[in-house]
Amino acid sequence: MYNNSRNDRSNSRGGLLTEKSNSKSQFLDQLATSELVELFSKEDIEPQKAVSEAIPEIIKAINLIVPRLKSGGRLFYLGAGTSGRLGVLDAAECPPTFCSSPELIQGIIAGGVSALIKSSEALEDQESLSIDDLNSRDFCTKDVLIGITAGGTTPYVTSALAYAVKIEALSIAISCVPIKDVALPCKVDIRLLTGAELLTGSTRLKAATATKMTLNMISTIVMIRLGKVYGNKMVDVSVTNTKLYDRAIRILQEIANLERNEANELLKLTNGSVKLSLLMALGSLELENAKDLLKDKDYHLRPALEKLSST
């Protein structure tokens, strides 16, 4: 049986936007399958609108995250349930896409790895657990915390945000309720107002969709700012399987106008580095010279290529 001495179970959360009943779905159980699919499809336009309306705060968050990471900080996503799983998912996808260190962006979920496949709702009410989870990763002032809580009231998340504020780490909150309903301790407050869910209270629907869109945007743009992208190509792709190897080859072919066998030889020589391969191909450089040039330009490919062009 649920037991939490901190919360009075007589306090209703019904006033929260994420807990309200959606008038469009009052007769959800009586609709035909075709009507249900159409209704859900139309309602999924709302997350796009919510993200669009939160653009100023998303921009602010990205502009504050980038210098932190450049200065040796790390980015942590933290949440419980669906919110936690979304953070772990986004963090896990960064190393193969951008060849970033698994330490750079990390996802923390209440209950740990097992909570990814088996729900552990009771843990989201434990305030000290999230602080323990952060401390176990040596979370400190130079780091960034993005606390994700759709309803804005998850103790596991709110306590972590308050702790981040206390130690002067960068604290960013993502929630789906208006500020007037719930205040959150944070430097940047991203509100994704997706409205009442078709299935009342099920924030794994619209709220989760908007959150995933926002995390995609934040991590990808941060990586662009860190020099992981050239044009629209992932030039720091981690060549760890056949699909990614083929992608790396095609990037070299398109940008440097190489034959496939030439691109293959360069990738072997550079141990799978697309950036180094491009510098060697376009600048007729030896490997060590390409490494020096890339390092000199803070591992950003475009400035390195511009220096080659100017000389």
Active-site residues: which are they? Answer: 93, 124
CA-based nearest residue to 14, from 193, 177, 149, 127: 177
CA-CA distance, 61 to 129, in Å (whole number)? 25
> Strand pairing partners for 148?
79, 174
Count the helices and strands in the chain (H runs, E runs): 12, 5
Q: Which residues are CB-neighbours of 108 under 8 A, at least 6 positions away?
A: 76, 77, 78, 79, 84, 87, 88, 130, 133, 134, 137
For tokens 């035909």, what's the residue?
32
For tokens 């662009």, what's the residue?
224
CA-based nearest residue to 299, from 278, 282, 269: 278
Cβ–Cβ under 8 Å, residues 280 and 287: yes
CA-CA distance, 51 to 87, in Å (whole number)? 17
Sign of the CA dihedral with 61 first, then 218, 143, and 176 last: positive
Q: Which residues are CB-neighbours of 258 under 8 A, at least 6 positions away?
A: 252, 266, 281
66-82 burial, b if ≥16 CB within 10 A, otherwise e? bebbeeebbbbbbbbbb
CA-based nearest residue to 79, from 187, 193, 184: 184
**Amino acid found at 192:** L
For tokens 């780091």, what's the residue?
143
